């Protein structure tokens, strides 16, 4: 197809798609999103790993990246600083001072990929490659004793990790506190 | 005309002419002018009283500032202390919060410049011409909308509060002011389009049970909204109190979920993803879940339960013996406030306060209670009841069930102590 023909075909496709949208919807406002547009913006990773991209990353690579890009906020050993503590705390959730970290609290490992990719590092979010995000996820899981030193994680292996606190969440039972509307001689 | 009045007028004329000289005489040396003006103001008898009766106030003796001298108006010079309450010495301010000065405000509407803030990746600067909303996932027609598109839909305006779920944290009930305690609640009139309208435009599929909303900020903040709420009173809003959203409130577009915790009202909205299950994002697993004494954490704790606080008199205020109006705000994520009671004897007895109309669902409600203070030490507090019959609990009742580590959703009664001096302070004292 010549350039002109391609443009004409694209224009026609756009007209048809807009017309299709206008006919089937109530207001005909907006335009249809292309698959490419959706793929570029949809960065959601499900708890079961759905949406995880191809590729993978190793604990070893993650360690280097962490030192370069994360340690200044999260601490050399991910013990916390300006940023959250990421390690330890397992077994503390029923104590008077629960320590909530990736290892002790996060229920799903793929969420780590989702969050690092969308929001970290804080000064340059969405700057890491998928490989780098896999590597950092692997390293943080390794620091928490959840994968071995020589591990390389990809979509399948990341989704297969069972986080210690996976079953630690319950639905909202409120209203759970009952107060009497006492007006005289109240105990308080 | 008394001698005094005459002399006031005379000096007024003199002042005006001197001021005109000041305006025109920019080439004159400052020192010479100061020499000419200072003696008059310095010798004026009773300097402190010069604008008080029977004298004529200075600001009546010459014209004020020109019409339109401020293209976007700001509060009086004398209200400079009424500003957001920003915590000092935080480790960083990119993901942090600051509070509405509730004790300085009247009525139920929060001025836009004083609305509370909670951001997770700072406040982005977004050109609305370059902003897009993508709707995709379990829809018949994935759509891209410009801001012009969004504004073409049939619009609605409604008054609702937004409240941060940690307002205050369970270990933060000792703050000095009303703002320190519950300043992470604000209320505005919002204008936008019902979320239902936009989702229907994209053709929601029956399998869609949740909609994941994502912000265009540096946190790409993501929360999942149950489909029932999406199809009920959820809105996409672009205006707040009549003007476009402020950048700190999500300009150019945010989600509004009346009665749900603030974090879910995603700002700078760029994407709605219709799905069969929640995202289980970081913000709805490791954060914004409520830890219980048994180690379990409550998840998807959306609703903000009934709460109230006396804002005047409140911490750092000082009152006089005799008549004092007690006033404050009450609100509930579960609907309208049906009653607020006030106790002036540390909770031993309670009497109903007057509710100021309008009393709107999921909006701040102003209450008032006339009080004659006898000068004896007192503890005053308020207790809200909403239309579901739910009564605001005491902190003791709340923590008996939830312990001290649940952080979010503390809606306990907040008591103020009035000392014999009339000074008001927080009656919650750290043990």
How far apart, in whole angstroms, are the C-alpha atoms of residue B424 and residue B416?
6
Judge whether B32 lies within some domain: yes
B403-411: average pLDDT: 97
- Asked whether the predicted pLDDT for residue A20 surpasses 70, the reply is no
The predicted structure's pLDDT at residue B356? 98
Judge whether B66 lies within some domain: no
- Asked whether the predicted pLDDT for residue B35 surpasses 80, the reply is no
Q: Please report the residues numbered 333 through 362 in chain B whose beta carbons come closer than 8 angstroms to any beta carbon of chain A.
A: 341, 343, 346-351
- Asked whether the predicted pLDDT for residue A24 surpasses 90, the reply is no
Any chain B CB within 8 A of the CB of A36?
no
CA-nearest residue of chain A to B215? A118
- Asked whether the predicted pLDDT for residue B208 surpasses 90, the reply is yes
Contact A102 B286 (CB under 8 A): yes
Residue B334 and residue B413 in one domain? yes
Any chain B CB within 8 A of the CB of A4?
no
Confidence grade of residue A142 (pLDDT, cut at 50, 70, 90): very high
Read off the pTM: 0.90
How far apart, in whole angstroms, are the C-alpha atoms of residue B295 and residue A184?
38
- Asked whether the predicted pLDDT for residue B305 surpasses 50, the reply is yes
CA geometry: angle B414, B419, B421, nearest 5 deg: 140
- Region label for A51, one of left (φ > 0), alpha (ψ between -120 and 50) or beta (otherwise): left
Judge whether B65 lies within some domain: no
Residue B120 and residue B193 in one domain? yes
Judge whether B335 lies within some domain: yes
B160-185: average pLDDT: 97
The average confidence (pLDDT) of chain A is 92
Residue B117 and residue B211 in one domain? yes
The predicted structure's pLDDT at residue B47? 85
Residue B226 and residue B351 in one domain? no
**Residues of chain A positioned with their CB less than 8 A from the CB of B292:** 170
Express each pLDDT in B311-322 by its tens digit.
999 999 999 999
Residue B139 and residue B235 in one domain? yes
Residue B323 and residue B257 in one domain? no
- Counting the structural domains of chain B, the total is 3
Full residue range of the structural domain in which residue B330 is found: 307-426
Contact A105 B297 (CB under 8 A): yes
Cis peptide before B358 (omega within 30 of 0): yes
B54-76: average pLDDT: 97
Nearest residue to B397 (alpha-carbon basis) of A106, A179, A71: A179
B334-362: average pLDDT: 98
Confidence grade of residue B267 (pLDDT, cut at 50, 70, 90): very high
Tell the CATH topology of A56-160. Cytochrome Bc1 Complex; Chain D, domain 2 (1.10.760)
Judge whether B288 lies within some domain: yes
> What do you get for the CA distance between the two ends of chain B, in Å?
66
Given B281, B298, B315, which residue is the final one in a domain?
Answer: B298
Judge whether B75 lies within some domain: no
Determine which of B29-38, B205-214, B328-337 has the lowest per-residue pLDDT on average: B29-38
Residue B156 and residue B278 in one domain? yes
A127 in Cβ contact with A70 (< 8 Å): no
Residue B245 and residue B346 in one domain? no
Q: Dihedral sign, CA of B292, B295, B296, B299?
A: positive
B109-116: average pLDDT: 98
Residue B366 and residue B223 in one domain? no
A117-135: average pLDDT: 98
CA distances from B274 to A154, B142, B153, B207, B258 (A): 26, 10, 20, 9, 20
Q: Please report the residues numbered 78 through 137 in chain A whose beta carbons come closer than 8 angstroms to any beta carbon of chain B.
A: 81-82, 93-94, 96-98, 100, 102, 105-108, 111, 114-115, 118-119, 122, 125-126
CA-nearest residue of chain A to B145? A30
CATH code of B203's domain: 3.90.420.10
- Asked whether the predicted pLDDT for residue B175 surpasses 70, the reply is yes
The predicted structure's pLDDT at residue B21? 38
The predicted structure's pLDDT at residue A23? 63
Q: Quote ipTM for the complex.
A: 0.91
Judge whether B316 lies within some domain: yes
Confidence grade of residue B132 (pLDDT, cut at 50, 70, 90): very high
Question: What is the per-residue burial (b if ≥16 Cβ within 10 Å, else e) of B283-302?
Answer: bbbbbbbbbbbebbbbbbbb
A87 in Cβ contact with A103 (< 8 Å): yes
The average confidence (pLDDT) of chain B is 92
Given B263, B298, B333, which residue is the final one in a domain?
Answer: B298
Q: Strand order in B290-291's β-sheet?
A: A169-171, B297-299, B290-291
Residue B293 and residue B311 in one domain? no
The predicted structure's pLDDT at residue B45? 56
Residue B265 and residue B120 in one domain? yes
- Asked whether the predicted pLDDT for residue B204 surpasses 80, the reply is yes
Q: Provide φ and ψ at B298, rounded to 5°.
A: -75, 135
For A5-33, give the DSSP string: HHHHHHHHHHHHHHHHHHHHSSS--SEEP
B348-356: average pLDDT: 98
Tokens standing for B204?
């929601």
CATH code of B318's domain: 2.60.40.650
Any chain B CB within 8 A of the CB of A171?
yes
């Amino acid at each position: 197809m010549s350039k002109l023909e391609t443009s004409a075909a694209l224009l026609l496709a756009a007209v048809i798609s807009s017309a299709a949208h206008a006919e089937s919807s109530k207001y005909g406002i907006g335009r249809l999103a292309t698959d490419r547009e959706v793929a570029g913006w949809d960065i959601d990773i499900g708890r079961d790993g759905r949406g995880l991209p191809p590729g993978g990353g190793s604990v070893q690579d993650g360690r280097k990246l962490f030192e370069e890009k994360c340690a200044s906020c999260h601490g050399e050993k991910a013990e916390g600083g300006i940023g959250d503590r990421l390690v330890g705390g397992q077994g503390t959730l029923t104590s008077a001072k629960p320590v909530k970290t990736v290892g002790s609290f996060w229920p799903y490992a793929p969420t780590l990929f989702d969050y690092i990719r969308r929001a970290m590092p804080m000064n340059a979010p969405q700057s890491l490659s998928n490989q780098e995000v896999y590597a950092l996820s692997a390293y943080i899981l390794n620091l928490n004793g959840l994968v071995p030193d020589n591990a390389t994680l990809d979509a399948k292996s990341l989704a297969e990790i069972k986080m210690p606190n996976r079953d630690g969440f319950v639905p909202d039972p409120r209203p759970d506190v009952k107060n009497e509307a006492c007006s005289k001689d109240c105990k308080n | 005309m008394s001698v005094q009045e005459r002399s006031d007028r005379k000096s007024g004329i003199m002042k005006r002419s001197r001021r005109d000289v000041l305006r025109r005489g920019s080439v004159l040396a400052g020192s010479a002018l100061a020499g000419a003006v200072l003696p008059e103001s310095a010798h004026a008898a009773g300097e402190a009283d010069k604008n008080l009766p029977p004298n004529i106030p200075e600001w009546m003796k010459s014209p004020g500032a020109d019409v339109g001298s401020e293209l976007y108006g700001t509060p009086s010079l004398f209200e400079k202390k009424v500003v957001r309450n920003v915590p000092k010495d935080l480790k960083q301010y990119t993901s942090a919060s600051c509070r509405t000065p509730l004790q300085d405000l009247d009525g139920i509407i929060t001025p836009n410049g004083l609305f509370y803030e909670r951001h997770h990746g700072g406040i982005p600067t977004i050109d609305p011409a370059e902003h897009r909303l993508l709707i995709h996932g379990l829809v018949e027609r994935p759509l891209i909308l410009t801001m012009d598109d969004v504004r073409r839909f049939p619009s609605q305006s409604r008054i609702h509060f937004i409240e941060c779920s940690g307002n205050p944290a369970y270990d933060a009930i000792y703050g000095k002011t009303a703002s320190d305690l519950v300043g992470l609640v604000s209320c505005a009139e919002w204008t936008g389009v019902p979320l239902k309208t936009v989702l229907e435009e994209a053709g929601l599929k029956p399998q869609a049970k949740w909609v994941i909303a994502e912000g265009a900020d540096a946190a790409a903040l993501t929360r999942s909204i149950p489909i029932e709420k999406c199809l009920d009173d959820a809105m996409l809003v672009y205006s707040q109190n009549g003007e476009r959203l402020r950048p700190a409130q999500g300009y150019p577009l945010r989600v509004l979920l009346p009665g749900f915790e603030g974090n879910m009202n995603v700002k700078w909205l760029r994407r709605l993803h219709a799905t069969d299950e929640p995202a289980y994002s970081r913000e709805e697993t490791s954060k914004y879940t409520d830890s219980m004494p048994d180690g379990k954490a409550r998840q998807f704790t959306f609703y903000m339960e009934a709460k109230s606080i006396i804002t005047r008199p409140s911490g750092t205020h000082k009152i006089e013996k005799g008549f004092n109006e007690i006033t404050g705000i009450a609100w509930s994520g579960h609907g309208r406030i049906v009653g607020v009671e006030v106790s002036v004897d540390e909770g031993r007895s309670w009497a109903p306060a007057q509710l100021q109309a309008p009393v709107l669902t999921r909006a701040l409600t102003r209450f008032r209670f006339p009080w004659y203070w006898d000068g004896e030490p007192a503890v005053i507090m308020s207790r809200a009841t909403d239309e579901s019959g739910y009564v605001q609990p005491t902190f003791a009742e709340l923590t008996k069930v939830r312990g001290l580590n649940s952080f979010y959703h503390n809606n306990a009664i907040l008591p103020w102590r009035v000392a014999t001096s009339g000074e008001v302070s927080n009656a919650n004292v750290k043990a």
